[in-house]
Amino acid sequence: MLLQNQNSKSVRPLRVLEPNTCLSRSQIHKRKKMLLGDCRKSLAFVGRYNMEAVSVDVRQEDGKRLRLSLDKNSVSDVKEENGSVTDLDALLYVKDSENISNKAYHELSMVVPDMPRLHSVVKRAKEINVDVKIRDTPNDTVGVQQSLRDRLTNCVSNIVASGKGQAILSKQSVNVKLTGDGTELGRRKKVINFGFTILDEDLCTSVRGNYLLAMFTGNETYDNIRKALEDIVTEAKALNTLNIGGTLVHVTYFLGGDLKFLNMVCGLASCSCTYSCVWCKCPNFDRHDMSREWSLVDVQKGARTVEEISTMSNKKNKNFNCLHPPLFSFIALTRVVPDLLHLYLRVSDQLVKHLITELRTRDTIQSSVT
Ligand SMILES: [Zn+2]
């Protein structure tokens, strides 16, 4: 490699050093130090612009790119150009969220030489995966799950570390809503998501405040949910306190979801049955009767309890549509909360449907008249 000093009138070739392959380890190290010294010296002028050179990219004779770090606090002075951890994480995020295969990524990185190589992206993915412990759901169900204790401890610790969890620490209590919902990913591809929300967190009403715990395929039925969530239910039942940096925090559970999910996990028949209310035993033919009084909490006024549902589920007759023992028997029915969004969407759907039907009817009448 010949470098020319362009400022001097007479072009003087620089002396080219012998290749690294002819040198011992200590000599290579010495040379790197020399190279870094030369780079720092040459780039000292950027200080005049109140800036600081932090790295220099070079290409070696064999075509390999190297990044020389001029930052004195840097752990490593020389590293192969594979991108910083932040760059790799961002790339990995795009690669995974857009379903880009390893093969496609490799082809892309061949076209764009500045992109980190596939092997470094795969290595970073493995590093991240070590911290994420994902297991199969039990009882031959097809799905994956994480430990409730680990995720909850991790999330609450993060909230406390961000300075927004003072209320949790001062009250030594955290409100956690367990929630689930079935969804259709494609034709005949039904998936049930189960997660939790920390109600003391500012983000609890946004998507980012919903933490996924388990995901499994199958229909939204009591048996399927019971089998797949067996580990999580057992874990939640035993998990009453969390250890957050030495402070014991009491966990209060709530149960959320749409009415279909709530009826199912509470052991009741579907929402169209006679006694479909999760909280009381008001039959559907008595709902219009405003003279009768029903209560969510007062057993004398027809309120249900978890214990009552369990007992009644064994009966064949007069069981008030109790079919199974409630899955989350440790959560009282007073802490079972329906999702308002689902109610709102369903009501809106029905109103829009009626509006369209009405418009169609009027159109037909008009067209028959004219
Ligand atoms: Zn009711």
Residue 335 tokens read as 């802490």
319: left (phi over 0), alpha (psi -120 to 50) or beta: alpha
How many A from CA of 361 to the centre of ligand 1?
35
How many A from CA of 264 to the centre of ligand 1?
16
Distances (CA, A) of 38 to 32, 138, 163, 252, 284: 10, 62, 45, 63, 86
- How far is it, in rounded angstroms, from Cα 193 to Cα 195? 7
Of all residues in the chain, what percent carry a pLDDT higher than 70?
A: 91
* Beta bridge partners of residue 110, listed in sequence order: none
pTM greater than 0.75 (yes/no): no
Do the beta carbons of residue 225 and residue 192 sit within 8 Å? Answer: yes
Phi, psi of 84 (to 5 degrees): -75, 170
How many A from CA of 236 to the centre of ligand 1?
27
How many A from CA of 199 to the centre of ligand 1?
24
Mean pLDDT for 29-58 is 87
Residue 237 tokens read as 């039942």
Mean pLDDT for 52-81 is 70
How many A from CA of 175 to the centre of ligand 1?
24
pLDDT band at 244 (very low <50, low <70, confident <90, very high): confident
Statement: residue 78 has pLDDT above 60: no
pLDDT band at 14 (very low <50, low <70, confident <90, very high): confident
Residue 348 tokens read as 């809106």
- How far is it, in rounded angstroms, from Cα 362 to Cα 202? 48
Task: For residue 358, give the H/E element and its range.
Answer: helix 340-369
How many A from CA of 322 to the centre of ligand 1?
14
Instruction: Report the 10 Å Cβ neighbour count for 235.
Output: 17
Cα–chain-centroid distance for residue 201? 15
Do the beta carbons of residue 257 and residue 339 sit within 8 Å? Answer: yes
How many A from CA of 311 to the centre of ligand 1?
19
Going through the chain in order, the beta strands assigned E by DSSP cover 55-59, 65-69, 78-80, 135-136, 143-145, 173-186, 189-198, 210-217, 241-244, 247-257, 336-338
* pLDDT at res. 217: 92
* pLDDT at res. 206: 82
pLDDT, tens digit, for every residue of 178-213?
999 888 887 788 999 999 999 988 888 888 888 999
pLDDT band at 79 (very low <50, low <70, confident <90, very high): very low
Statement: residue 176 has pLDDT above 90: yes
pLDDT, tens digit, for every residue of 265-296?
999 988 888 998 999 988 989 888 888 888 88
